[in-house]
Structure 1
């Protein structure tokens, strides 16, 4: 097979006015994204890889990557500026390499362009996938990838529940864990790790529909409430009774975080993973019950999964064993969308629309992936 000489790319064209909603229809003049075909440089610089994109991960945090040129505010990860190719975490096949770390034929995980082919520096690669395991590649962007690792370290490190991996609590005496966005990729894994690996006595989830809540309860949650219902707080109050939450795994911020802070046990912990409620409108992420943190001596700890990179092998071993023992659902926790269209341009234009399912309430349960090739 000859090497590709051009690539079709999705370009981050313009930031929505007022940090508003993403416009995903690339045919519109005010679209957030555009699709372009460009020539690929045949001469790779030292340490560069020519890759074929296989799978792309869809994550709410990508919304925080989008910036106007000149915005140099602090960030945990390099942003994507207007006019550049949009990116996500993903998997790619190495077609050509000038890197000493990666060779032709390797399947690699890293920060991958929204494109069918791309030339990227080796610094954007996280690791090489061990294809000898025989596991589906989708696992490495979900149950054995950043998704589950984020859930795992949020609970065991930020939530300080790691002691229960070895010393299981007595039945009914384990921690009470609550998680928002519980039907999402990270949230649904938090539910399963809490209940099946850490021996949580009660697991409470919040999701966006009755159907999603039923699915979360099938995964192991003792209660899942639809946060769109006006009485969702009453349901949590009645379920807890005189009890309080030991660890709240927060993916949304805003109103839900404000409420959960009032339900935390003294010296309880909040694992702050994300604040999706404010990604399109920052005002929606405001917290109104901050004094509860002071009054109940609550620890709110933000965390980034990359900070625990040296612990990845140990965590992946624990998660792999949990999958084999059926403690973590796999088949029902991964949803893969295949790109449709008669041309590369038509196919790639579907990527923004699929990604935006994370924000418009139509996202399927579990981890949402895009199959590019």
Structure 2
């Protein structure tokens, strides 16, 4: 047993949003982090609801409060800890890991959070105004709840920081790039987890050219060559690329100028449209949930799904071109792991990339859904961003201990 941990130690992972905190508790076993429980507090300040489950998916806590009783992230974390305390069984929280959406151009590795680091993170808020403030609120809440316990920030942009310059820049004068206006890419913790999993399970494929499709309410794709991110569909913000649950994806910037100048839309109204009333929800006028759209007889639902599949298929081809070819395609996240019909529609027409889908394997949600004759392998893998954060936290604690 390493001196940095003891059998009763645990790591808490937090993913704080505007009105929610997702959490996962890992027990530390030698140099590994094993899931103990997970859950979410949603509806903070409005209709707070805590749900927590153990590693066997048994419900440990299911509680609701009035909005004023859980008004902010500090009170939400207190309620979370009260709700899961019986299941912690006296384990000592030795660190808290946080998903932080934006690390800017320079933060490319997990870091211990101190006062200076907090100032740096706050300085990045203009780059992710809808995400970063809530991530920081989670760190503040955890610091108050666990004084003196290390807080570790892990960045969604970090995995993409080794991109070639061509994949990161816009067609603007270079001074804008120097001021941080560049393509950052997101979902990096998910891509890092999948890349690491492939390295352990499919080492030959991991050494090659893989497109990973992280398809969920937030969707993006990443080109990974030899375990290194080469390009990603998301750019300066998490709006770019393929359409998502409520976000538009790629859009001609001239459309935004038109909406501002001709339709007289202000920044707040544009933000609401592009982030909250576009994508599958906006196009269908029904729902952002693929399951709802697949059941609907409304032609707008079919059009939204068709557009989604078209855009994802197009980006697979573009990312394959960025790597000079493709050896594997991996579907992950909520839609990628479960939406069989949509996966099939995405793969239609990719035969020119050597991809041949096995309909039976796809319908069965098998780990590999391509035929044995497919030059490009197609896999389905569950992602686990929290486990990736826990691994980073352990590594950082060990490094700090040995330094």
TM-score by length of 1: 0.34
Which structure would you say has the larger RCO, counting Cα contacts within 8 Å and 6 or more residues apart? 1
The structure carrying a bigger helix percent of its residues is 2
The structure carrying a bigger strand percent of its residues is 1
